[in-house]
Amino acid sequence: PIILLILILVLFSSLSYTTIFKLVFLFTLFFVL
């Protein structure tokens, strides 16, 4: 899962930092659930 997170971070590096933060937050929520 960590590798996937890094991959998404690299893919979304061009986009705004807020978008990446939102994605990470969503991933964290999914992991908690």
Which has the closest alpha carbon to 21: 9, 32, 11, 31?
9
Predicted confidence at residue 24, as pLDDT, reads 83
How sure is the predictor about 9, in pLDDT bands with cuts at 50, 70 and 90? confident
Q: How many other β-carbons are positioned within 10 Å of the β-carbon of residue 19? A: 11
Q: pTM for the complete prediction? A: 0.42
| Whether residue 6 has pLDDT greater than 70 | yes
How sure is the predictor about 15, in pLDDT bands with cuts at 50, 70 and 90? low
Predicted confidence at residue 13, as pLDDT, reads 72
> How many Å apart are CA 11 and CA 2, to the nearest integer?
14
Domain coordinates of the chain in residue numbers? 2-32
Position with higher pLDDT, 12 vs 29: 29
